Amino acid sequence: MTASHDPICTDPATALLGWYDRNARVLPWRAPPGTATRPDPYRVWLSEVMLQQTTVAAVGPYFARFTQAWPTVAALAAAADEDVMAAWAGLGYYARARNLLACARAVAQRGGQFPDSEAGLRELPGLGAYTAAAVAAIAFGRRAVVVDANVERVVARLFAIDAPLPGGRAAIRAAADSITPEVRAGDFAQAMMDLGATICTTRKPRCLLCPLAQDCAAQRLAAAEAFPVKAPKAARPERQGRAFWIERDGAVWLVKRADKGMLGGMRALPDDGWSARGDGSGQAPLEADWRAAGQVAHGFTHFTLALSVAASAIPAGNPPGIGEWWPLDRLAEAGLPTLFVKAARLVLATGESGENDS
């Protein structure tokens, strides 16, 4: 059964915007609240893509690096794929970096101008419904219903929507629509995000400081933390894999992963094809004196990976296939995804590269 309660106040937007005027977070992609100045659509779009699945604190340094290297969408569109993928390394969800480039190139072909409506933005490659709504509202002041994880939590509580997620998202979106104002839509969207991030937090929401406390159904029920209701999660399956650290003359052999598929287009250690097989039975790329460096665990969206790392040093020649020798003292610049950063740290910490023993 789905229940929801109307907020008491008829205009939560007014209360929220007043709070936002006094408490808005200062962020490098934002315009101050209530000003006529609109933020740069490129910076808004970039920040929204980066912020999916991660926090403002984590995004900050990446946003600074990207906008320094590529200050406009045209500059980003002209960048080499591997440079962008390397700069993205560590943010995770690498398909987003590929979509980011596809979108930047489409915008560059339009003369560097983003479409100024939600529908127009939706037509860009790799730009999803959430990002289109957020950019339309924040960069162009269009009324759009912007629901990220923070907003979802606030709205589920405000209306005490008890339909479990993910099925309850339609009810939450309809409720968010009902309180989204025609004017200051961008400020409203950002105010909801800020409220969710700083006041209506997942644990221990600070209802005493909340501008919506008078209106909030969950607060009236003294049950804020019970919302949003989530369906029980199925346990993630575990895959097994092997990665191979091959060292020669102070350098490690790195390959580029196939463009399509997991961690596509990223530099990586050679591995046994775990992303397709996942039972740990794949072969090493060459015959060598392999030493076990240990195992790293890594969580992906749909499974966890236990990656065994084997290391060897070879005296001469190259492993089969296409790759490059990357100097160990510049490994931080290789843009390895987090999984392989963990594997590299393991080898370097355990001294199991074998380089000194060969």
Residue 212 binds ligand SF4 (CB under 6 A): yes
Q: Quick one: 219 or 312, whose CB is closer to ligand SF4?
A: 219
Active site residue 287: no
Residue 193 binds ligand SF4 (CB under 6 A): no
Q: Quick one: 154 or 339, whose CB is closer to ligand SF4?
A: 154
- Find residue 297's DSSP bridge partners: 306
**Going along 156-237, which residue ranges are E strands?**
none
Residue 197 binds ligand SF4 (CB under 6 A): no
- Residue among 2, 12, 10, 3 at smallest CA distance from 195: 12
Q: Quick one: 228 or 354, whose CB is closer to ligand SF4?
A: 228
* Residue carrying structure tokens 């490659």: 125
Interacting span for ligand SF4 (CB under 6 A) from 23-31, 32-40, 150-158, 316-324: 150-158
Residue 150 binds ligand SF4 (CB under 6 A): no
Distance between CA atoms of 152 and 148, rounded to whole angstroms?
6
Spatial contact of 37 and 31, defined as CB atoms under 8 Å apart: yes
Q: Minimal distance in Å, beta carbon 51 to ligand SF4? A: 20
Q: Quick one: 86 or 212, whose CB is closer to ligand SF4?
A: 212
Residue 147 binds ligand SF4 (CB under 6 A): no
Interacting span for ligand SF4 (CB under 6 A) from 164-172, 202-210, 267-275, 289-297: 202-210
Tokens standing for residue 81: 């794929």
Interacting span for ligand SF4 (CB under 6 A) from 104-112, 197-205, 319-327, 331-339: 197-205
User: What single-letter DSSP state applies at residue 292?
Assistant: E
**Contacts of 216 by beta carbon, 8 Å cutoff, 6+ apart:** 7, 157, 158, 207, 210, 224
- For ligand SF4 (CB under 6 A), the number of binding residues is 14
Q: Quick one: 143 or 157, whose CB is closer to ligand SF4?
A: 157
In order, the DSSP letters of 219-256 are HHTT-GGG-S-BPPPPPPPEEEEEEEEEEETTEEEEEE
Residue 13 to residues 156, 181, 305, Cα–Cα distance (Å)? 16, 7, 44
Residue 15 binds ligand SF4 (CB under 6 A): no
Residue 161 binds ligand SF4 (CB under 6 A): no
Q: Minimal distance in Å, beta carbon 157 to ligand SF4? A: 4
Residue 205 binds ligand SF4 (CB under 6 A): yes
Amino acid at 220: R
Report the Cα–Cα distance between both ends of the chain, in Å, rounded: 68
Distance between CA atoms of 303 and 69, rounded to whole angstroms?
34
Residues at the interface with ligand SF4 (CB under 6 A): 154, 157-158, 199-200, 205, 207, 210, 212-213, 216, 218-219, 224
Query: Known catalytic residues?
Result: 48
